[in-house]
Amino acid sequence: MVLLLGIPAMLGMLVLAKPMLMVLFMRGEFSLYDVNQAAMSLWALSAGLLNFMLIKIFAPGYYARQDTKTPVRYGIIAMVSNMFFNAIFAYFFSYVGLAMATALSALINAGLLYRGLHIANVYRITKKTLFFVLRLVIAGAAMVASLLWLMPNIDLWSEWSTLNRATWLAGLIAVGAFVYLIFVMILGIRPHHLRTDS
């Protein structure tokens, strides 16, 4: 379920970053330049969205076995890694580097949590799971293609009123969700795949 919802959410945020920022913030002193600058950090954070979601899934695998120390230890490792990456990436990429560091530290945290569950034979990714993820990625790619094809030029967005931008954004989100669900069904994913070892 996390992958079913997380993959399109991540891809949607990557594609629609600028329109979303325009709808939410572009008024007053917040200009198109600010939208373009903020979009870069949003792209970096969006790339780590799945990792943040998977942490919430893997961590309870330890708590259910009365192991509260291991997730904390992995969290500390991720936090220290985040500080280290911040120092490096901020030097080269400025504020975008901070977002990159946060996304990368989340990847480390999720990776460590999964590795621990794998070694303990609590949870292991199967070929069925990988095939399931592949189908979701294909559906997500179809969604991205449809959004890129329908989305107006960003300069045109800047000329519209907030209401017009919000209407278009809502329409694109609806179309993207529809295309994604259609392809999910075409690729054979059904509700029972979420209740069994997919």
Condensed to tens digits (0 to 9), the pLDDT of residues 154-173 reads 888 888 888 999 999 999 99
Last residue of a domain, one of 124, 151, 186: 124
Instruction: Specify the number of domains making up the chain.
Output: 2
Whose CA is closest to 183, among 10, 8, 6, 1? 8
Residue 4: both structure tokens together: 């079913």
**Same domain, residue pair 112 and 134:** no
In the chain, the amino acid numbered 198 is S
- Is residue 142 domain-shared with residue 183, that is, in the same domain? yes
112-130 average pLDDT score: 92
- Asked if residue 78 has pLDDT above 90, the reply is yes
Tell me the average pLDDT of the chain. Answer: 92
Residue 39 lies in a domain: no
More confident residue, 144 or 26: 144
Q: What is the pTM of this model?
A: 0.87
Q: Are residues 172 and 139 in the same domain?
A: yes
3-state DSSP of the chain? CHHHHHHHHHHHHHHCHHHHHHHHHCCCCCCHHHHHHHHHHHHHHHHCHHHHHHHHHHCHHHHCCCCCHHHHHHHHHHHHHHHHHHHHHHHHHHHHHHHHHHHHHHHHHHHHHHHHHHHCCCCCCCHHHHHHHHHHHHHHHHHHHHHHHHCCCHHHHHHCCHHHHHHHHHHHHHHHHHHHHHHHHHCCCCHHHHCCCC
The boundaries of the domain holding residue 113 are: 48-124
Q: Are residues 118 and 132 in the same domain?
A: no
Radius of gyration of the chain from Cα atoms? Answer: 19
Q: How confident is the model at residue 54 (pLDDT cuts 50, 70, 90)?
A: very high
pLDDT at 154: 86
pLDDT of residue 196: 55
Position 195 confidence tier, pLDDT thresholds 50, 70, 90: low
Q: Is residue 57 over pLDDT 80?
A: yes
Of residues 68, 57, 80, 44, the one with CA closest to residue 4: 57
Which sign, positive or negative, has the C-alpha torsion 174, 179, 185, 187? Answer: negative
> Looking at the structure, do residues 138 and 101 belong to the same domain, yes or no?
no
Q: What are phi and psi of 29, to 5 degrees?
A: -85, -5
